[in-house]
Amino acid sequence: MSESQARVLTIVQAIREAAAQEMERDDSVLIIGEDVEIGGSFHFTLGLADRFGSDRVMNMPIAESGFVGMAIGAAVQGMRPIVDFQYSDFVLEAMSQLVQQASKLRYMSGGQVKIPIVLHLPSGASGRGAQHANSIEGFFFHVPGLFLVTPATPYDAKGLMVSAIRNDNPVLFVVHKHTYGSAGRHLAESSVATGHVPEEPYAIPLGVADLKREGDDVTIVSNLQMLHRSLNAAEQLATEGISAEVVDLRTLVPLDTETIIESVRKTSRLVIVEEDNLRGGWGAEVAAVVADQALLDLDAPIKRIAAADVPVPFSPPLEEFVIPSEARIVDTVRQLLGR
């Protein structure tokens, strides 16, 4: 392993480096958002205003619909804006701009108009209460024309951010709040926030899942923070003689159904783990695809593990009860295998 490859970064350091390298490579890349000149809520833009100036790293007022609309207009005119949100929950204020404009303009123009915009969205529950705990990816999974990226490791985050910035379509870049590794912030799970990241720029194609752990007895499909809980659960299951294969989707749109089907045909069992609410979540789509393409390869029913269909509570014990835990994953796999 080279010295560059041996560097250990957090996710926020990895995506900041990706943005900075793309800004150096391409003058059309710029960043807007609330408090971005001082680093933003999760330090994604820390130091970038000093490095690139306030004409390329610009603070915005508390008016999400307005500055997302501005970014869409800038993208139409040939810029490549990155919109940094303090919390992904606030993107709901710009729902019309994204669903009615950004997602449709390229189609409505017959491909003549490009919309190269990236929205950086800190998502998921993290002890901040119901209005700051949405798994925002579920809201936009249904919308044609929007790409949806959900990295869970620093290596993936950098490569996927590079691809997102270079993409000519609107990309929602979703990171779980517990996985950033921002300075001074408690890391809920120590294995989440660090990893080896090469210094040189590299791109990971959108729509390609990654096999994070090989196994033979059951396939676990997950993403974001739930990926790490799934990996931890797989470690525990291994001590019981159960071999779990863990698939990290990495992107929800495009969805890599080929990797999912290949794994299910190998293990004959499927458990889907997502933090979003059970009703209407992306896990239902994965289950439907497997039922359609690999039903006869299954030896047991498909199991879905997701948050309860309630607002996320502010109380830490109640939040932990609502959100899927490692214990729930382990117990579900045991039941599936009749253990």
- Residues with catalytic function: 132
Contact between residue 308 and residue 257 where contact means Cβ atoms under 8 Å apart: no
Contacts of 329 (CB under 8 A, 6+ apart): 220, 229, 230, 233, 271, 273, 305
User: Residue 62 is which amino acid?
Assistant: I
- What ranges make up the beta strands (E) of 66-157? 80-84, 118-123, 147-149
Q: What are phi and psi of 241, to 5 degrees?
A: 85, 15
Torsion angle defined by CA atoms of residues 185, 188, 190 and 191, in that order, rounded to the nearest 10 degrees:
-120
| Enclosing H/E stretch for 230 | helix 224-238
Give counts: helices (H), strands (E), the chain: 12, 14
Cβ atoms within 10 Å, residue 227: 29
Write the DSSP symbol of residue 130.
G
Cβ atoms within 10 Å, residue 289: 15
Six-digit token string for 84: 């940094």
Contact between residue 191 and residue 227 where contact means Cβ atoms under 8 Å apart: no
Contact between residue 337 and residue 269 where contact means Cβ atoms under 8 Å apart: yes
Write the DSSP symbol of residue 87.
S
Residue 171 pairs in a beta bridge with 118, 147
268 vs 298: CA distance, rounded Å: 4
Residue bearing tokens 């990654």: 210
| Exposed/middle/buried for residue 194 (C-beta within 10 Å: 0-12, 13-18, 19+) | middle
CA–chain centroid gap for 29, Å, is 21
